[in-house]
Structure 1
Amino acid sequence: MAKRVLHVVTNVDRYGDSDEPTGLWLSELTHAWEVFEAAGFEQVLVSPTGGAVPLEPRSLAFPNLDATAKAWHADPARMALLQRTAKPSQIDAGDFDAILYTGGHAVMFDFPEDEGLQRLAASIWAHGGVVASVCHGCCGLLDVTLPDGSLLVDGKRLTGFSWTEERLAQVTELVPFDAEAALQARGARYAKAVLPFVPYVVSDGRLVTGQNPASAKATAKRVVEVLAAE
């Protein structure tokens, strides 16, 4: 029976109350999707409110719009998937072997406090599945609470978009919080690459996290490896 992966994507198109656009960083989805597709996995998209997913404009510009992302963006059938994502209430966590939170700064505004997404991740973890994130997707893990009342990230080794990378991206005045610091405040054993914006993946058992957009493919490959080892 084919493994099933749930991709979490955003519905937010602006940085808070500003006019600055944001959204899904497309390659973080497409790179992972390609890896899972090659592995024969079934894949489903879910977002906090369901429906349409906006795209981060910078992810559609060279060099961020690489071959994989460009092919998806040019494919009407693939793009249609981003117009009809499911709501968390429409998803049965028991149907999935893994959940992967994608990124883009937008997710900082709708992932952290979404109880539906938290329930999905906690349930998938509880039945032995893999919980994963790429880049800002780690913000969706911040308050995932397990049945025993502990936080999923407490004591876990993980990574996510660093504050150094936020400064280099020149968005420190736009983001609502420091993801790196927020993870550490919840007991996570945060790690990052020596250099910014290079691929970097950390796995702690069934928790698999990638630091930045360049880490999406490697993160998905690690998820495949973890599922294959079970």
Structure 2
Amino acid sequence: MTKRVLHVVTNVGHYDDPSHPTGLWLSELTHAWHVFDEAGFEQALVSPAGGAAPLEPRALKFPNYDKTAKAWRCDPAKMALLATTKSPEEIDSADFDAIYFTGGHAVMYDFPHSESLQRIIREIYERGGVVSSVCHGYCGLLNTRLSDGSYLIAGKRMTGFAWREEVLARVDKLVPYNAEERAKQRGALYEKAKLPFVSFTVSDGNLVTGQNPGSAKATARKVVEALAGNTSQARP
């Protein structure tokens, strides 16, 4: 059976200060999409509110703007996918083998508070599917609880955009909270690379996470590996 992956993107276009735009970090989507496409997976997009997903301007500049991101923006059909994402209420988690949370600072605002997304995460995870995130995407996991009431990330090895990287990116005064610290507060066994902005991934069972934009390809490959080795769970 063909594997199916659900990508989660943001609906938010700016920080608390509207004069500072943000949005989806496009390459975190396109790199993973390319990896999953090569693996023969079917893919779909969802966002907390459904509808359009704004793009992070800084992700559209060198060196972040690579050939996969450029190809996506030049493809009207692909851009239409970002303009018409589904809402969580339109998604049946049983249709998907994995969920992949993209990043960009915008997700810090709308990912953590979507109870509908949390339901999808919980159902995929507890069925044995793969839950994954890259960069700030792990904000979507911060408030997700399992059926027993425990945080999904409690006691789990994981990673995500580090506070040191926020400081180096000069957005530590703009972000609404310290995501690394919040993950630790929820019991996550947070890890990060020795050097900032280098590719770094962590797998703990069916939880796969990547630290920063440069980790998107490696994170997606880990998801492919996890699904290839996971024959115990199958969609109904």
The worse-fitting range, judged by mean Cα deviation, of 64-73 and 83-92 is 64-73
Structure 1 distance, partners of 2:68, 2:194, is: 27
Q: Partner letter of residue 174 of structure 1?
A: L
Structure 2 distance, partners of 1:81, 1:101, is: 16
Identity of aligned residues (%): 67
Q: In the alignment, does 2:112 pair up with 1:112?
A: yes
1:51, distance to aligned residue in structure 2 (A): 0.5
Which residue does 1:50 correspond to in 2? 50
- What per-residue deviation string (whole Å, max 9, x for no partner) do you get for residues 149-199 of structure 1? 111000000000000000000001110001110000000000000000000
Structure 2 distance, partners of 1:2, 1:227, is: 11
Q: In the alignment, does 2:69 pair up with 1:69?
A: yes
1:74, distance to aligned residue in structure 2 (A): 1.1
TM-score, scaled to structure 2: 0.97
1:126, distance to aligned residue in structure 2 (A): 1.1
Matches within 5 A, 1:117-132: 117-132=117-132
1:64, distance to aligned residue in structure 2 (A): 0.6
Q: Secondary structure at the match of 2:83?
A: coil
Which residue does 1:7 correspond to in 2? 7
1:17, distance to aligned residue in structure 2 (A): 3.9
Which residue does 1:33 correspond to in 2? 33
Q: Secondary structure at the match of 2:149?
A: coil
Q: Partner letter of residue 66 of structure 2?
A: D
Structure 2 distance, partners of 1:77, 1:63, is: 25
Structure 1 distance, partners of 2:154, 2:218, is: 24
TM-score, scaled to structure 1: 0.99
Q: Secondary structure at the match of 1:161?
A: coil
Structural RMSD (CA) = 0.6
Which residue does 1:19 correspond to in 2? 19
Structure 1: tracts of 5 or more residues without a match: none
- What per-residue deviation string (whole Å, max 9, x for no partner) do you get for residues 61-117 of structure 1? 111100111111111111111001000000000110000000000000000111011
Which residue does 2:200 correspond to in 1? 200
Q: In the alignment, does 2:182 pair up with 1:182?
A: yes
Structure 2 distance, partners of 1:68, 1:194, is: 28
Which residue does 2:228 correspond to in 1? 228
Structure 1 distance, partners of 2:212, 2:122, is: 23
Matches within 5 A, 1:142-161: 142-161=142-161
Structure 2: tracts of 5 or more residues without a match: 231-236
Which residue does 1:134 correspond to in 2? 134
Q: Partner letter of residue 199 of structure 1?
A: S
Task: Spell out structure 1 runs of 4+ moving beyond 2 A.
Answer: none
Give the length in aligned residue pairs: 230
Structure 1 distance, partners of 2:19, 2:48, is: 21
Which residue does 1:91 correspond to in 2? 91
Structure 2 distance, partners of 1:159, 1:18, is: 29
The worse-fitting range, judged by mean Cα deviation, of 13-22 and 191-200 is 13-22
Structure 1 distance, partners of 2:213, 2:70, is: 15
